[in-house]
Structure 1
Amino acid sequence: MKDSRNQLPALLPRKAQYLKNDIRLPGQHVQVPVQFPKDFFFVILEKGSLSAMRFLTAVNMKHPEMLEEVPRELWMRVWSWDEDITEPQSILAAAEKVGMSTEQAQGLLEKIVTPKVKNKLKEDTEAAGKYRAFGLPVTVVHLDGQTHMLFGSDQMELLTHLLGEKWMGPVPAAINPKL
């Protein structure tokens, strides 16, 4: 956000009002309960997510097989249950809920203050900037000598098109009960 000089949509009054009214509809579509944190500006703007991002960087470095489940659980804690993901106990609880041992999670949490983890997060952030990213989520696809950057969680249908796959929707079993 900083690199692109982008503003959070919630800082723009019309977009903020739109988001408050609209956020539940995509949640219903993907069958995930979504709600704004009660104190959105404090949680998102003041507290931020730096410790969680560093933790996820450490997860990726040491346990990449957990890099789908841990961020999903952290996301749910903020956007479904209005829980704090800046507190160490919350990060540990999220990691343990998806199957990481207490020792593994604690070890990774201790690494978030190390230069190795901090530098890796900076490198990853700079790499996103090179693709002209301006927010999250971003998916970068390298295909047939071309690079495609897709912004937003609503781009999965376009992603499957690029990959030559069939789009089954966010909840495939709802479309085809045999799945």
Structure 2
Amino acid sequence: MAVRTPVKFYYDILSPYAWFGFEALCRYKKPWDLDLQLKPMNLGIIMKESGNTPPGMNPSKGSMLARDVQRVSEMMDLPYNPLEHFAKTVFIRGSLTTLKTLAACQIMYPDRLEEMTRQSWLGLYSRDIDITDKGNIIQFATAANIPDVDQLLAFSLGNEARQQLITNTNEAVESKCFGAPWFTVTNPKTGRREKFFGSDRIEMLGWVLGKEYVGHHPPQ
């Protein structure tokens, strides 16, 4: 049996590019024997600690952001729809409640975290609903087949889930993360930890691992 390669993936639901990177890595989990370790993190802290700014805050980047995201989603066949109120959703409402729930899922139901994460992204960037709303989070958890949704929600309000989110975020900061998606892997040839930023670095990851990249829809 092949030994799976651990890949640590740091993300915040607020980033559509993190969604694209997440789905790309999920598609390559089986073909490349990846042990995908999902690490929800607080992107606001990452931006502050790294001195970076969101793309939408830069006029030049912001002017092409909407079309670029649309192109990527079409290329990957993902059901992306633009947010009606981008600034309110991202900069005011945020994702902290959702991130704490994902951190709770990471502890309690790690085998369900992938689908819980996916449902959260679909809620935000496909259905444009409030991902911090308790009722919507219950929908995400139910769709992810969480065994005890009430227990998960209760646990997400406690210190252990909060600390898990802090730990994930600190790990990312210590690795010099400056945005999302961010993922790391140990190079099997050199033993050196390699770091990647962006949803368009999957092919480069394959090159590092000595695996063949065959496009956005690899055979499973």
TM, length-normalised to structure 1? 0.91
Which amino acid in 2 is paired with 1:15? Answer: K
TM, length-normalised to structure 2? 0.74
**Which of the pair is proportionally richer in strand?**
2
Tell me the CA shift for residue 78 of structure 1: 0.8
Partner of 1:122: 166
Which amino acid in 1 is paired with 2:155? Answer: K
Tell me the CA shift for residue 41 of structure 1: 0.6
- The 1-side partners of 2:80 and 2:71 are apart by 9
Q: Is structure 2 residue 195 aligned with structure 1 residue 149?
A: yes
- The 2-side partners of 1:138 and 1:96 are apart by 28
Which amino acid in 2 is paired with 1:35? Answer: N
Tell me the CA shift for residue 168 of structure 1: 2.3
Tell me the CA shift for residue 36 of structure 1: 2.3
Which amino acid in 2 is paired with 1:138? Answer: W
Which amino acid in 2 is paired with 1:118? Answer: R
- The 2-side partners of 1:73 and 1:55 are apart by 12
RMSD between superposed Cα atoms in Å:
1.3
Question: Larger deviation: 28-37 or 43-52?
Answer: 28-37
Counterpart contact for 2:109–2:146, Cα < 8 Å: no
Query: What secondary structure does 1:139 align onto?
Result: strand
Note the residue ranges of structure 2 that are not aligned, 5 or more in a row.
1-46
Tell me the CA shift for residue 172 of structure 1: 2.3
Counterpart contact for 1:136–1:152, Cα < 8 Å: yes
Note the residue ranges of structure 1 that are not aligned, 5 or more in a row.
174-178
The equivalences for 1:1-179 within 5 A come to 1-101=47-147, 104-143=148-187, 144-172=190-218
Query: What secondary structure does 1:150 align onto?
Result: strand
